[in-house]
Structure 1
Amino acid sequence: MMRVVTEEMLEAVAHEGPALSRGRASGQHGPAETVGERILPGRRNVTLTSLAGTMRRRGFGEEAISAALLAENEAKCDPPLDQGEVRGIARSVARYESGSPEVERAARDGSHAVTTVVTDEAGTLLSDVQPERVGWLWQGRIPRGKLSIVDGDPGLGKSAMTTDLAARVSAGLGLPDGSPCEAAGAVICSAEDGLADTIRPRLDAAGGDPERVVALATVLDGEGMERLLSIPEDMPLIEKAIERVGAALVIVDPLMAFLSGKTDSYRDQDVRRALAPLAKLAEKTGAAVVVVRHLNKSGGKNPVYRGGGSIGIIGAARSGMIVGADPDDGDRRVLAPVKNNLAAPAPSLAFTLQQADNGAVRVEWRGETGLSAGDLLAAPRDDESSALEAAQEFLAELLADGPVPHGEVVAAAEQAGVSMRTARRAKQELGVRSVAVREAGTRGVQVWLWELPGDRDDQPDEVF
């Protein structure tokens, strides 16, 4: 029999658990402090999970927990979570026995571990999955809780544009196409722009709220030395920054600067292993994560293959866009869709870069344009490099950490849009050596390795 949840009982449960009524000291884990009666993006799932755990600890079943969470979601979550997602939280917690470690963990800190249910069956029946609507930070362009990509050549305004978006989100100013935007926090991870002379002035020029924006680019290592943030190793720090301001938007600019030194950006498996935790963090917090890349020098016209590094990068993103120069107007820039796995492509938007009163670059949006991503890439580029130069750059980065089997070179070249004919020319230009690896006592070559000159200059071209 379902237990009816009265307002008095809900209030008692709320005061018993930490989720709805208690603040959180700096550095303390667990559900975050609400702002007034509002539960902001980035802490809604955690807060409702904590309430569900507290109710389950007191013996409430799924229906009662679901009813209470739905009421709390509508009353306090800003904006409310999808009802299917809220019911999913109730179902996940209610599957555990009252007093179990999983329930205690959910009540204590809103742990999402309770959403993973271990059974003896293989896979998940879709009948057990609650359908959810995709949440959007910017409809048709930047989904909440997912990865998005912005590609483009240096100097065309990618960073100015993403800072403009952060300003709009932080102050609730509305988005470039006129759609509304609820005020929320933003995290900017920038490896190329100065905080005092570039990022803060641009944010001010765009009307942003600096109280809601956290800059996170460097951390201290074990010896007290400053180093760049590393993805995926420093995911907990990014999560703390999201929690600090209730961030709905995270910008990583450029992605390659923050990838771990252990990650080869041209290897699909490396890239996916690095980006999976970032995608998981986006899903957990509900924040939209936008990563910025420079274009490669292949000169190809297919925008999907033009971003730097492995094709796995844009493969991991749910939305991809490109910033390019308007071929008919050198003063205009265009933000055009490249891919979207979650909705129909949004129209391309034009913008210009102006100087604000404080001397900073300010973005002025000029409305829709019929130019596509392909149109932007078909336009002549002032810094267009030859395919051979692109292949040399590709090989130098691929082999930087040591010899690579020929088969892996072929696969990586295909992903990077570099033909093997051009790769072989680049190999000759760079002096890359082919090293035969043979098994002792056999005649055949076990594998051929490609390696940069100087790696083993004192070694023979055959290794046993």
Structure 2
Amino acid sequence: MNAETAETARMASSSGTDLDTPDGQASTPQTGRRARIIWGTEEDPEPVIWAWEDDGRDLTEEALSKMRIPAPFGRIPSGTLAIAAGREGTGKSSFGIWLAAQITRGTLPGSFYGEPRRVLYVAVEDSWKHTLLPRMIAADVDRSMIGRFDVIVDKDTEMTLSLPADNALLEAEVIRHGIALVVIDPLMSAIGEKIDTHNERNTRTALDPLARLADRSRAVILGIAHFNKGNGSDVASLITGSGAFKNVARSIFGFARDAENGDRVMTQVKNSLGRDHHDLPSLAYAISDAIVETKNGDTHVGKFSFQGMADASVSEVLGSTGPGYRSSDAEAWLKEYLEENGGSASSADTKKAASEEGISTKILRKARESLKVVITRDGYPSETRWSLPPPDSEESVVPSRAQSGPRARGARLGTTGGPRAQQGGHDQSGTPHPTPSDSHSQSPSGGVVVQLNIPNRAPDGAA
């Protein structure tokens, strides 16, 4: 034993750590805790398995062409905690029932497609017989594949799930029945009464074990959550309770209803294991009236259905304090503004005019991308200009990572995520081609082509 090893052993001994364990790992006899290290070469990487992989079936061809990314794209990974949040009456619980229907019928695009799977529903606020079961019938849930999860104490007293105390009970049933989805509605009410849900560390004592349960069983756990009384537009920050709810979940969906026109919209605001959530389309949805027959008469319930791509995001709906401009309105305004200026205007003037019109920077950017506006820089000093693309020209705009419209399948990606830039030199036929610096480059703000037409400057001292 060399001096360094001896000193390490002496320090471990003084701290109560035993280095002479059978596997050579350090342990602390007083607590039974021991260290474990798994080196990076001991495990192989694996792809994410998506329980819900949106294939764009709810979108029109026109909407698909405007998307920044091609379908399909993952929304909910298997074996994770997801959150559906919104204000009262927006339809977040109806979304949970919609998801349950798809999984029990094997129609959800993703890893469960074509294989009907069982679902557990933890109902805390709504009546199972009067509210949830009629909604499930209207949504075409396979009733033989969905079960209400209760906790029984004192022989026949029904209790609701309490986390983390009942985690073992829940996991045992998830594994026994091969459950693919657990809906907890609402998640906050299932947190143990002794846990301070406004303290992140306290809340994590309930949510972290729940997330590990999902990971071990590969089931999706969908927690329904309410917004707090705040007036902001950041969906994740509006979830009632501590930041643990938004931090532990791997995917978060916001739901909102536009008070002005009644439109409903769902926006994914977190997608930790997949594509940037900003690139995922917001979806419009409807809650239509459905009549369900019962033994004691008919009952009216709401039925959730997607209606295609939404014109606005949940944040835009929440942040709207007046009439304002939505994406479709701003697109019409921008097209008219550029046409009135001969099809081209300076970027600064366009942004200023849009601001005076009450169009936000974010909405203006979306309108620019949707119209496939071409950005050019001319002269010295250079001036940035926005121009409408030539009519009926498919080659007027070269797609970039942030540009509307899907990338061709099989296209190679560079380190920035966009189509790999062609380097200067010659192609396989021997034909020279320019470098990106003297032809086209991608705009860092997305959705456009930058054409550099700056004239060469003479070197200092040259004639």
Q: How does the TM-score come out when normalised to structure 1?
A: 0.53
Task: Give 2:314's aligned amino acid.
Answer: A
Structure 1 residues 341-350 or 312-321, which shifts more? 341-350
Which residue in the other structure is 2:245 paired with? 313
- Percent of aligned pairs with the same amino acid: 32
Once the two structures are TM-superposed, the CA of residue 227 in structure 1 deviates from its matched residue by 2.3
1:338 paired with 2:269, answer yes
Of residues 107, 117, 122 in structure 2, which corresponds to 1:173? 107
**SS of 2:194's equivalent?**
coil
Please give the alpha-carbon distance, in whole angstroms, between the structure 2 residues aligned to 1:278 and 1:285: 11
1:30-429 alignment to 2 at 5 Å? 123-139=37-53, 140-174=74-108, 180=113, 182-216=115-149, 218-222=150-154, 224-326=156-258, 329-330=261-262, 332-344=263-275, 345=277, 346-358=280-292, 359-379=300-320
**SS of 1:365's equivalent?**
strand
Please give the alpha-carbon distance, in whole angstroms, between the structure 2 residues aligned to 1:245 and 1:355: 33
Task: Give 1:375's aligned amino acid.
Answer: E
Please give the alpha-carbon distance, in whole angstroms, between the structure 1 residues aligned to 2:142 and 2:249: 28
**SS of 1:323's equivalent?**
strand
**SS of 2:134's equivalent?**
helix
Task: Give 2:264's aligned amino acid.
Answer: R
**SS of 2:291's equivalent?**
coil
Once the two structures are TM-superposed, the CA of residue 180 in structure 1 deviates from its matched residue by 4.6
**SS of 2:44's equivalent?**
coil
Question: Do the aligned partners of 1:347 and 1:370 also contact (CA within 8 Å) in 2?
Answer: no
Task: Give 1:312's aligned amino acid.
Answer: A
Once the two structures are TM-superposed, the CA of residue 244 in structure 1 deviates from its matched residue by 4.7
Structure 1: runs of 5 or more not aligned: 1-95, 98-117, 382-464
**SS of 1:343's equivalent?**
coil
Please give the alpha-carbon distance, in whole angstroms, between the structure 2 residues aligned to 1:257 and 1:302: 23
Task: Give 2:195's aligned amino acid.
Answer: T
Q: How does the TM-score come out when normalised to structure 2?
A: 0.53
Please give the alpha-carbon distance, in whole angstroms, between the structure 1 residues aligned to 2:117 and 2:125: 24
Please give the alpha-carbon distance, in whole angstroms, between the structure 2 residues aligned to 1:220 and 1:119: 34
Once the two structures are TM-superposed, the CA of residue 120 in structure 1 deviates from its matched residue by 8.3
Shift of the 206–122 alpha-carbon distance from structure 1 to 2, 3 Å rule, reads closer
Specify which structure has the higher proportion of strand.
2
Greater RCO, 1 or 2 (C-alpha within 8 Å, sep 6+): 2
Question: Do the aligned partners of 2:85 and 2:227 also contact (CA within 8 Å) in 1?
Answer: yes
Shift of the 380–214 alpha-carbon distance from structure 1 to 2, 3 Å rule, reads farther
**SS of 1:151's equivalent?**
strand
Specify which structure has the higher proportion of helix.
1
Task: Give 1:134's aligned amino acid.
Answer: V
**CA deviation profile, 1:397-456 (whole Å, cap 9, x unmatched):** xxxxxxxxxxxxxxxxxxxxxxxxxxxxxxxxxxxxxxxxxxxxxxxxxxxxxxxxxxxx
**SS of 1:141's equivalent?**
strand
Task: Give 2:241's aligned amino acid.
Answer: G
Shift of the 150–120 alpha-carbon distance from structure 1 to 2, 3 Å rule, reads closer
Question: Do the aligned partners of 2:122 and 2:160 also contact (CA within 8 Å) in 1?
Answer: no
Please give the alpha-carbon distance, in whole angstroms, between the structure 2 residues aligned to 1:257 and 1:182: 31
Task: Give 2:274's aligned amino acid.
Answer: A
Please give the alpha-carbon distance, in whole angstroms, between the structure 2 residues aligned to 1:279 and 1:370: 33
Please give the alpha-carbon distance, in whole angstroms, between the structure 2 residues aligned to 1:251 and 1:121: 35
**CA deviation profile, 1:229-284 (whole Å, cap 9, x unmatched):** 10111112222332354221111111111100111111011111111111111011
Please give the alpha-carbon distance, in whole angstroms, between the structure 2 residues aligned to 1:291 and 1:371: 24
Once the two structures are TM-superposed, the CA of residue 364 in structure 1 deviates from its matched residue by 2.1
Shift of the 121–279 alpha-carbon distance from structure 1 to 2, 3 Å rule, reads closer
Shift of the 120–259 alpha-carbon distance from structure 1 to 2, 3 Å rule, reads closer
Question: Do the aligned partners of 1:185 and 1:242 also contact (CA within 8 Å) in 2?
Answer: no
Please give the alpha-carbon distance, in whole angstroms, between the structure 1 residues aligned to 2:268 and 2:130: 31
Please give the alpha-carbon distance, in whole angstroms, between the structure 2 residues aligned to 1:141 and 1:181: 18
Please give the alpha-carbon distance, in whole angstroms, between the structure 2 residues aligned to 1:185 and 1:225: 25
Once the two structures are TM-superposed, the CA of residue 142 in structure 1 deviates from its matched residue by 1.4
Question: Do the aligned partners of 2:138 and 2:303 also contact (CA within 8 Å) in 1?
Answer: yes
Please give the alpha-carbon distance, in whole angstroms, between the structure 2 residues aligned to 1:213 and 1:121: 41
Once the two structures are TM-superposed, the CA of residue 168 in structure 1 deviates from its matched residue by 1.2
Question: Do the aligned partners of 2:207 and 2:244 also contact (CA within 8 Å) in 1?
Answer: no
Shift of the 340–181 alpha-carbon distance from structure 1 to 2, 3 Å rule, reads farther
Question: Do the aligned partners of 1:169 and 1:181 also contact (CA within 8 Å) in 2?
Answer: no
Shift of the 194–272 alpha-carbon distance from structure 1 to 2, 3 Å rule, reads same
Task: Give 1:219's aligned amino acid.
Answer: V
Shift of the 362–242 alpha-carbon distance from structure 1 to 2, 3 Å rule, reads same
Please give the alpha-carbon distance, in whole angstroms, between the structure 2 residues aligned to 1:247 and 1:120: 33
Once the two structures are TM-superposed, the CA of residue 313 in structure 1 deviates from its matched residue by 1.2
Please give the alpha-carbon distance, in whole angstroms, between the structure 1 residues aligned to 2:248 and 2:140: 32
Please give the alpha-carbon distance, in whole angstroms, between the structure 2 residues aligned to 1:191 and 1:119: 37
Once the two structures are TM-superposed, the CA of residue 222 in structure 1 deviates from its matched residue by 4.0
